[in-house]
Amino acid sequence: MRSEPTQYESQVSWLVFCCLVGLQLTMANIHFIGGEKGGVGKSVVARVIAQYFIDRGLPFLGFDTDRSHGSLMRFYTDYASPVVVDRYESLDTIVEAACEQPDKRILVDLAAQTHEPLVRWMDDSGVLETASDAGLSVTYWHVMDSGRDSVDLLTKVLDRFGSRLNYVIVLNQLRGENFDIFDKSGERDRALSLHARIITLRRLHEAVINKIDAGSTSFWAAKNKSTADATGLGILERQRVKIWLNNAYEQLDGLYL
């Protein structure tokens, strides 16, 4: 029967823990928010993560690939810059920013139909190899609705990158609440075998989301009444936003971003 750890062993364990935490905090992270299919809620997820970084005091830089309806550019202007997905020199700025500012997380909101040009850039430029050499962690967030297309697109991503990427799969209940197709497809188990993390973004009342979007309002403004309130949100609507965000934050906390 093993005795309790000695004081020395406890101190060593604590030092190892601190080193691992320090590595986690100092390693720059690039987060690609994708899903390829339009309308699955990628931009909402990107906005939630941006607000999470702000509320948790985590410095970050945002990049928006949507030329016509850039969500980060619209809702978080002070933190975001545009990037053109079919121009390598534009995409290069993502990795360069991560290398030059390792204290900041990099958040990239991918527009629909950007998978192929993104893959070409990553392959031709050796992005994943460069990131590994520079000590950068690259995570692909696959945002899903409840349909078959989202599962097929996940298959495409896993086939292409395998264990070369970190994955977070977001089951977006704003776009459907029944994910049986995903659960029964075999892709869930495959993703888990690649150490993917799976989280759920709960449904928020549609009228609330519509008011937030109509007013180009950040989620901070949506949950906090200001003296010049233009959102039109009522007291209980704001409360629903707070509850919704708190649930999302609890899940993001578990990812150690």
Quick one: the chain helix, strand, coil %, rounded to 5?
55, 15, 30
| pLDDT confidence of residue 116 | 92
Structural domains in the chain plus CATH codes: 30-194 (3.40.50.300)
Q: In what order do the strands lie in the sheet with 29-34?
A: 80-82, 60-64, 105-109, 29-34, 137-144, 166-172, 197-201
User: For the segment 195-249, what is each residue's pLDDT rounded down to a tens digit?
Assistant: 999 999 999 999 999 989 888 888 988 888 654 456 688 889 999 999 999 999 9
- The distance in angstroms from the start CA to the end CA of the chain is 38
Specify the pLDDT at position 129: 95
Would you say residue 165 has pLDDT above 70? yes
d(CA 216, CA 196): 32
pLDDT category, 19, cuts 50, 70, 90? very low
Residue 191 has pLDDT above 90, yes or no: yes
**What does the radius of gyration of the chain's CA atoms come to, in whole angstroms?**
20
From start to end of 125-231, where are the E strands? Answer: 137-144, 166-172, 197-201
What does the pLDDT average to over 107-132? 93
Q: How many other β-carbons are positioned within 10 Å of the β-carbon of residue 197? A: 17
* Residue 66: predicted pLDDT: 84
* Residue 214 pLDDT: 86
Average pLDDT over residues 159-164: 96
As given in the structure block, the two tokens for residue 234 are 């009522």
pTM: 0.86
Residue type (1 letter), 158: L
Mean pLDDT, the chain, integer: 86
Q: Measured between alpha carbons, how far is residue 34 from residues 7, 42, 111, 230 in Å?
A: 47, 6, 7, 31
What are the structure tokens assigned to 256, written together? 């150690």
- Rounded to an integer, what is the distance from CA 67 to the centroid of its chain? 20
> Is the Cα dihedral 45, 43, 221, 79 positive or negative?
positive
Q: How high is the pLDDT of residue 104?
A: 94
pLDDT given for residue 10 in this prediction = 42
Q: What is the pLDDT of residue 86?
A: 87
Cβ distance 151 to 182 under 8 Å? yes
DSSP 8-state secondary structure symbol assigned to residue 135: T
Other CB atoms within 10 A of residue 15 CB: 10
Give the per-residue pLDDT at 120.
Answer: 95
Tell which residue, 202, 199, 200, has the closest CA to residue 244. Answer: 202
Tracing tokens 């050499």 back to the chain, one arrives at 133
Which pLDDT does position 226 carry in this prediction? 59
